[in-house]
Amino acid sequence: MASEQPIRVRIAPSPTGYLHLGTVRTALYNYLFAKKEKGAFVLRIEDTDQSRSLPLYEQDILEGLQALGLTWDEGPDIGGSHGPYRQSERTKQYTERLQALVRGGKAYKCFCTKEQLDEERKGMIAAGLAPKYSGTCRNLTAEQVAQYEKDGKESVLRIKVPLDYEVEFSDLIRGKISINSSTIGDFIIAKDETSPLYNFAVVVDDADMRISHVIRGEDHISNTPKQILIQQALGFPEVVYAHLPLILSPDRSKLSKRSLETAFIEYLKDGYLPEALLNFIVLLGWHPEGDEELLTLEEMIQRFSIKRVQKAGAVFNMEKLDWFNAQYIRRLSEQELVKRMEGFVPEAWLARPEVLTKALIIERERIQKLSDFRENAGFFFEIGEYETDLLRWQDMPLEKVALHMRHVRELVAAGKDGDIMPYAEQEGRGEVLWPLRVALSGLRNSPGPFEIMYVLGKNESLKRIDAAIQKIIDGQDHT
């Protein structure tokens, strides 16, 4: 039945905040499942809570998913044959269904006040029962309803839940789950006929959008029986559910709301590559067969299987993300790496592609994020001030330093860089290579002198060596 329908899945974010990691993982699993099964991936914006939803957040979510390459087949921006795809544009669809339920006696107006309900709840708890609505308004007559309305009493809509009924579903990840309707009670589905609550809107949307599989976070698992009850009341087809494990912090506590809600764009701005992020995120709850963990999106599609998603919480480990990112940075072609540096380095660096490319070849092994490069590589483009004393290897006299530098300078000028190493072996590696490296970088720590010369080229290298010699001659200030 359900499984014979065309495969259609959705990501249904609420635009009440920036895109975050949890939503990206849910989107990715849905996307992989859809691609693997040759189905459709739908984007729906759940903005029923108008007071907290902002267009700015919606835009951020769309852009973030796009930047990751998780493109959808139908959605609010591109339309599709089962829209509209924004809940705020679907009031007509909800109202029709709410009215149908009331007409059919499957939902009813409840006029109980907050005080009454609080009282009722306290009584149940005191009697050792799980609190639920007692059903006071379940069997009001039409006359009673009319009278209450005439009296101006406020109401909400509740669904009439069948009594003592087992709500069952078979979760693709968690297995069989069943709960008795009597523990749920008649719950609220709408404030009024034009204002559905979350559970009701989701069920209507999933049916209208012909969703076959609902793949979402475990935090929604308690909503599922309610959604099934609404589905059955409306006579909608069954949906297959798969609830993804929680994402935990490294000490296995629930990942703080803060880490979970870090705006996803921050990872991109920090210089994590989209492909590294996807690879890291796909492993938060799923693992391919075999040991290979580095996977392209295409490989993920080939290898993904919802059956291999784990039940246990998935640990979020920032060091692992850094490791993945470093791997991906190393695998980029030189050309591509240079392209990716846009936005991460000053314009002036981009204007010198030759130096930039060579600097990246040297530094790429040392960086974990694109943003690290800027911190490490400034000296290739412009040497900073340094103290003359830094040129000294241990307590070597500066005259001796100048002597070595002059010799090295001649070798470089004659294109005999290959003779520098034998010279250093003879005179002492530290004595020759330390001042050379400082002359080229102006830094206490940097890549080796030959690597730097490779990046700078002959002219700039000579310029810097000359400047170091001049510094010694001038007996320049020691500030």
Which residues carry out catalysis?
A: 257
CB nearer to ligand GLU: pick between 45 and 278: 45
Give backbone dihedrals phi and psi of 251, rounded to 5 degrees, phi first. -85, 15
* Token pair belonging to 52: 């907290």
Q: Which three-class secondary structure string do you get for 377-416?
A: HHHHHCCCCCCHHHHCCCCCCHHHHHHHHHHHHHHHHCCC
DSSP string, 193-239: TTEE-HHHHHHHHHHHTT--EEEEEGGGGGGHHHHHHHHHHHTPPP-
Which residue, 154, 152, 178, 157, is CA-closest to 166?
178
In the bound state with ligand GLU, the residue whose beta carbon lies nearer, of 14 and 181, is 14
Token pair belonging to 442: 């102006």
User: Smallest distance, Å, CB 162 to ligand GLU?
Assistant: 23
- Measured from the CB atom, the residue of 14 and 388 that comes closer to ligand GLU is 14
E strand segments, 292-379? 314-315
User: Is the Cβ–Cβ distance between 177 and 79 less than 8 Å?
Assistant: no
Quote the tokens at residue 429: 């590696």
Other CB atoms within 10 Å distance of the CB of residue 68:
21
d(CA 252, CA 247): 9
How far is CA 251 from its chain centroid?
20
Binding interface with ligand GLU (CB under 6 A): 12-14, 46, 202, 216, 220
Q: What is the DSSP letter of 419?
A: G
Residue 68 or 453: which CB sits closer to ligand GLU? Answer: 68
Instruction: Specify the residue, 159 or 455, whose C-beta has the smaller distance to ligand GLU.
Output: 159
DSSP structural state of residue 161: P
CA distances (Å), origin 454, targets 100, 346, 417, 443: 76, 21, 10, 17
* CB of 45 vs ligand GLU, minimal distance in Å: 9
153 is in an annotated binding site: no
Q: How far is the CB of 461 from ligand GLU (least distance, A)?
A: 56
Q: Are 39 and 245 in contact (CB under 8 A)?
A: no
Q: Which residues are annotated as a binding site for ATP?
A: 257
Q: Which residues are annotated as a binding site?
A: 257
